[in-house]
Amino acid sequence: MTITKSTAAKSAILALVAGTLLASGTALAQGGGPTPKTAEEAAGKQVFHQCAACHSLDSSKNAFGPSLYNVVGRKAGSIPRFDYSDALKASNITWTEDSLRQWIAGNDKFVPGTRMRHVAITDRAEQDYLIAFLKSLKQ
Ligand code: HEC
């Protein structure tokens, strides 16, 4: 089997995260939200630290940003009582792996006029982890 550079890097990160989790069982409990079931979800939860200031992991609570609970499969701008930008409401996006990837790679390029501060997660592995974590935010 040929191991590509990025696969190797990805495994290294996963091993690192898994090791950290084993070393400190409490890491899983921190920050609220569901307990990650896979190393990918756990790595995604780490990446989510960049989002947590504005997005609650509580299933129903909106913070500065809308709740991301059940976000995969949801229509953009559709949470009641959250004051979305007109740009996001009019975007006609459904949140799938693909659209989420474009959003986290450069949200203001994907939806010009969005109210969410610029984020740029361009590393493919980090995107995969974050999306795996977002997918786990459901019942
Ligand atoms: C500085 C605060 C802030 C940060 C940091 C932030 N967001 Fe947001 N997010 C928002 C706001 C505000 C909105 C609503 C945007 C709008 O209405 O245009 C939003 C909207 C979203 C949406 C659309 C949800 C929906 O209901 O349509 C997703 C998905 C999202 N953010 C994911 C993320 C992820 C993933 C990160 C971390 C990489 C992140 N956000 C970081 C504030 C933030």
What does the chain look like in DSSP terms, one character per residue?
A: -PPPHHHHHHHHHHHHHHHHHHH-GGGGGTTSSPPP-SHHHHHHHHHGGGTTTT---SSS---SS---TT-TTPBTT--TT----HHHHTS--B--HHHHHHHHHHHHHHSTT-SSPP-----HHHHHHHHHHHHT---
Please tell me the predicted confidence (pLDDT) of residue 16.
Answer: 52
Which of 63-101 are b and which e, b meaning 16 or more Cβ less than 10 Å from the residue's Cβ?
eebbbbbebbebebbebeeeebeeebeebebebeeebbb
Q: What is the pLDDT of residues 24-71, one digit of tens each?
A: 433 444 467 788 999 999 999 999 999 999 998 777 777 889 999 999
**Cα-flanking dihedrals φ and ψ of residue 94, to 5°?**
-110, 135
Q: Is pLDDT at 128 greater than 50 in this prediction?
A: yes
Q: Is pLDDT at 94 greater than 50 in this prediction?
A: yes
For atom 26 of ligand 1, the residue with the nearest CA is: 77
Residue 44 in contact with ligand 1 by CB distance below 6 A: no
Which of 48, 51, 121 to mutate to test ligand 1, by most ligand atoms within 8 A of the CB atom?
51
Domain 5-135 is classified in which CATH homologous superfamily?
A: Cytochrome c-like domain (1.10.760.10)
- The more confident residue out of 68 and 139 is 68
pLDDT-derived band at 11, boundaries 50, 70, 90 = low
Q: How many residues are listed for the chain in this entry?
A: 139
Residue 116 in contact with ligand 1 by CB distance below 6 A: yes
Q: Is pLDDT at 7 greater than 90 in this prediction?
A: no
Please tell me the predicted confidence (pLDDT) of residue 57.
Answer: 79
Structure tokens at 19: 């090791």
Give residue limits of the domains in the chain.
5-135
Residue 45 in contact with ligand 1 by CB distance below 6 A: no
Please tell me the predicted confidence (pLDDT) of residue 76.
Answer: 98
Please tell me the predicted confidence (pLDDT) of residue 34.
Answer: 82
Please tell me the predicted confidence (pLDDT) of residue 26.
Answer: 39
Q: Is pLDDT at 10 greater than 70 in this prediction?
A: no
